[in-house]
Amino acid sequence: MELLSNLALGFSVALTPWNMLFAFIGAMIGTLIGVLPGIGPIATIAMLLPLTFHLEPTAGLIMLAGIFYGAQYGGSTSAILINLPGETSSVVTTIDGHQMAIQGRAGAALAAAALASFFAGCVSTALIAGFAPPLARLGQSFGSPEYFSLMLLGLIAAVVLAHGSVVKAIAMIVLGLLLGLIGTDGNTGGQRFTFGLNELADGLDVATLAIGLFGISEIMANLAGRDDAARDVVTKRITRLWPTRDDFARGWPAVLRGTSLGAVLGVLPGGGATLSAFAAYALEKRVSDRPGMFGRGAIEGVAGPEAANNAGAQSSFIPMLTLGIPGNPVMALMIGALMIHGIQPGPQIMTERPQMFWGMVASMWIGNLMLVIINLPLIGFWVQLLKVPYRFLYLAILLFCAIGVYTVSNSAAAVIMAAIFGVAGFVFQRLACEPAPLILGFVLGPLMEENLRRALRVSGGDPMIFVDRPISLGLLICAAILLLIVALPAIRSGREQAFQE
């Protein structure tokens, strides 16, 4: 009964004309940046983060959320039509989706992707509504030791699930933690890592860092390696959008499996849409009675991963909304949007700001319905948009980046810092270092430091407080197990090498 009253409150907030307008804007922008390869939701949300300063918090969060899950819809369009994913979570969709387009079944592939995404998005939103209240109540029983241990577990999990080198992922997290320490110490009043620059006295702004690392660096990377002539847009007229009966028979079980898998993996720190899509494709290929069709236009290879990436994207809101822990860079930016308004993320949001929390949850159902309406009838428009050369787009993107940074701080120094971080982000990409763990470390670093200091003050400086409390101990044990999982391959290869010698 309490859930129904909360949902009624949420829909009363989400269905106001103002909030519906921003849900539509977020869904439209998300689809747009998903369709256009090389931009992505992280860079877009980073660019629009300063705009939320001038909006009411609920409207701003509704728009940013719409951009995130809308990009999962749009990413499948470019993946199917031009074999170039607009979003990393749509990489798997290119394998079978583009093959279907080549065979003249682009409409069926696009419809399967849209319907799978809609179903998964609705189910994941229902999970947020159902599981958020008990998780928030659990979070309210957390003290400083539990929060510190939980954040430590989140950072270690991000290392375990990061792509590429574990050492590089750890290095990026440590760098993010150090960048989060820049500024004035809230306890002593002393300045740290400012190098005598007054512009750094208040610390780095999350928008400046994110726009540099994900916006400007992405432009540089695209200009360095982009070849617009390589775009092979499917130009055949798309006449049939509705999948066949056989497509439905094979697609719906894949959608159900992908939704279940994505909903679980999305909650994990470092999980989210990309990991869910890859895991769903591997699962579909394993359980299929025709594995040889995968890579040659199997509808399951489109429906399963598309359901999984949307379920993963939306279920990643659960730890962010209930515990204040970002599971991926986008959630870190969402926390940054809350902080811009002076809102402390955590379980207290549900009790102190129920209109904002439940309004955002209800807006996800509305946004998913909008996305189906936006995506399917406008396929012809997206096809034409895909033919626009990138050289006409990047100047506008760069301009929006600069305006966004300047809006936050009214300082030219912030624009220069964003440019510096843009160059650094480009170098990180060349060195195969993911910047995503860096932004997680940057956002969680100050919160970890605050909870560490508070816990040690309560215990009189005794670090045993972290193992004396059962929940904190359990979280630290989980972190230790994850570290062991990371270290085991290196230990095993080292032993084999030693025996060979």
3-state SS of 86-155? Answer: CCHHHCCHHHHHHHHHHCCCHHHHHHHHHHHHHHHHHHHHHHHHHHHHHHHHHHHCCCHHHHHHHHHHHH
Kindly report, residue by residue over 36-71, the tens digit of the pLDDT: 765 667 777 777 777 777 788 888 888 888 888 888
pLDDT > 50? residue 498: no
pLDDT > 80? residue 266: no
pLDDT for the residue numbered 33: 77
Distances (CA, A) of 43 to 222, 329, 483: 13, 10, 30
Kindly report, residue by residue over 282-326, the tens digit of the pLDDT: 888 888 877 778 877 788 888 888 888 888 888 888 777 777 777
pLDDT > 80? residue 12: yes
Q: Lowest-confidence range among 110-114, 446-450, 461-465, 495-499?
A: 495-499
pLDDT > 50? residue 25: yes
Going from N- to C-terminal start, the domains of the chain cover: 1-141+155-195+206-461, 462-500
Q: What is the mean pLDDT of the chain?
A: 78
| Beta bridge pairs of residue 184 | 191
pLDDT > 80? residue 31: yes
Categorize the per-residue pLDDT at 240 as very low, low, confident or very high, splitting at 50, 70 and 90. low
Phi, psi of 184 (to 5 degrees): -95, 130
pLDDT for the residue numbered 87: 65
Distances (CA, A) of 142 to 156, 181, 339: 20, 24, 21
Q: What mean pLDDT do residues 97-121 have?
A: 83
Kindly report, residue by residue over 172-221, the tens digit of the pLDDT: 888 988 888 888 876 777 788 887 777 787 778 777 887 788 778 877 87
pLDDT > 60? residue 408: yes
Categorize the per-residue pLDDT at 499 as very low, low, confident or very high, splitting at 50, 70 and 90. very low
pLDDT > 80? residue 15: yes
CB 3 within 8 A of CB 134: no
Gap between the Cα atoms of 278 and 285, Å rounded: 11
Distances (CA, A) of 21 to 60, 128, 339, 453: 11, 23, 23, 43
